[in-house]
Amino acid sequence: MHESGQWIANTLLGPCSKLDPQGVGSAITYYRRYSLAAFAGIAQEDDDGSAASGKGHPTALQYISQAQLNRLNAALNACSPKVQEKFESDHPNMTKITTDVYDGIVASLEAAAKKYQERTQPA
Q: Which domain, by its residues, includes 79?
A: 66-120
Task: Give the separation between CA 118 and CA 123, rounded to whole angstroms.
Answer: 9
pLDDT tens string 53-98 = 666 666 789 999 999 999 999 999 999 999 999 999 999 999 999 9
Q: Are 67 and 97 in contact (CB under 8 A)?
A: no
Structural domain includes residue 21: no
| b/e per residue 12-49 (b: at least 16 CB within 10 A) | eeeeeeeeeeeeeebbeebeeeeeeeeeeeeeeeeeee
Structural domain includes residue 84: yes
Structural domain includes residue 72: yes
3 confidence band (pLDDT: 50, 70, 90): confident
Cα pseudo-dihedral 18, 20, 23, 29, rounded to 10:
130
Q: How many domains does the chain have?
A: 1
The contacts of residue 27 (CB under 8 Å, 6+ apart) are: 14, 15, 16, 17, 18
Structural domain includes residue 110: yes
List Cβ<8 Å contacts ≥24 apart for 22-30: 26/52
Global pTM reads: 0.53
Structural domain includes residue 111: yes
Can you give the C-alpha Rg of the chain in angstroms? 28
**3-class secondary-structure state, position 63:** strand
Structural domain includes residue 83: yes
Q: Are 98 and 63 in contact (CB under 8 A)?
A: yes
